[in-house]
Amino acid sequence: MNENITALCPGSFDPVTYGHLDIITRAAGMFKKLIVVVASNSSKNCCFTPEERVELIKKCITGLDNVEVVHYDGLLADYAAKVGATAIIKGLRAMSDFEYEFQMALTNKELNPNVETLFLTTSAQNMYLSSSMVKQIASMGGNISHFVPSEIKQDIINRITTKK
């Protein structure tokens, strides 16, 4: 446990999946405080509002006392400076994630030299898992129980089916 470090775990989380929750849980065990930041990715059109995404995550992390969930609309590097965070935690699934994540890590370092990006390798069972897959399966009436916790399964189905 890193007693003095506040870390950020940023993402779109549209919606949160077991893959994200695995990274959040493992990172929570490594730092004094972990802030899950629901942020905007300009290249993605999100299905859930930021407030909905925050609520879905909160429902899944009730046992993690050192984890906070926030929505932030600006640059992640600025948010890190604002709250004194010095680490950004990202999950890596495959090489296909790497180039994009590497670019973001270098950009964030340039914008805020006090912050280091650390990568956690995804657990093997989540290698293939993505929020877009979950949305696609839910929209076609498939079973998403293997991908998201039961606490939020119905919320996701309701939201996706009312959006159609």
The residue length of the chain stands at: 164
Nearer to ligand PNS (CB atom), residue 45 or residue 154: 45
CA–CA gap between residue 72 and residue 40 (Å, rounded): 8
The residue whose two tokens read 């879905």 is 56
Q: Which of 6, 12, 17, 117 binds ligand PNS (CB under 6 A)?
A: 12
Q: β-pairing, 87-92 with 116-121?
A: parallel
Q: Which of 104, 120, 133, 137 binds ligand PNS (CB under 6 A)?
A: 104
Contact 26, 64 (CB under 8 A): no
With CB under 6 A as the rule, give the number of residues binding ligand PNS: 12
Cα→Cα distances 112→65, 71, 76, 83, 115, Å: 27, 19, 9, 12, 6
Q: Which of 25, 107, 123, 139 binds ligand PNS (CB under 6 A)?
A: 107
Q: Which of 6, 17, 108, 117 binds ligand PNS (CB under 6 A)?
A: 108
Residues labelled catalytic: 20, 44, 93, 131
Task: Provide the binding-site residues for ligand PNS, judged by CB under 6 A.
Answer: 10-12, 39-41, 44, 75-76, 104, 107-108
